[in-house]
Amino acid sequence: MAKTQRIRDPLHDLIEFDIGKFDQFLWKLIDTREFQRLRRVKQLGFSELVYPGATHTRFAHSIGVFHTARQLVGLISSRIGEKFEQEKAEIALAASLVHDLGHGPFSHAFEEAIKLLNKDNARRNGEKGPPKLKKHEQWTSDIILGDTESAMLSDPVALISKKLYRSS
């Protein structure tokens, strides 16, 4: 039996996922290995070294973005009434939750370090230019589409198009 799940957020306080099918689907998504990995990815790169309190993770950020998006969806729904499209709102909410799945360690600082390393390697190997690197947005897309060795989501395309949770 489904039950309400809660996450205590330092900025948003209590974020709840109720017993409804969509919220339970989102909770299962949060429980995936890909999403849980975000607990170990720094939101602010190396800022923590200078500002010891800057310990925000991509996990907390993604939960907060989802919460804010859900509040915005509620506001829009109340303002536009019958024109509101719940299906599109759910797709947007799922996307807000998974938008950072592809970030590497130390976030954007990691991307810059890899870019410099590849540029240096290309120069040493006599190549005309460094190979084109994937940015976190492309990694996120690959994870959602199941196009990585680590992707474990059973049907990620259906996840974003809301078909998966509706069929269960």
Task: Provide the annotated active-site residues.
Answer: 136
Residues 19, 162, 10, 79: is their CA dihedral positive or negative? Answer: negative
Tokens at 154, concatenated:
């059973």
Helices 136-145 and 86-98, axial angle in degrees (round to 10): 120
Alpha-carbon distance of 33 to 74, in angstroms, equals: 29
In 3-state terms the chain splits into helix, strand, coil percentages (rounded to 5) of 60, 5, 35
Distance CA 46, CA 93 (A): 29
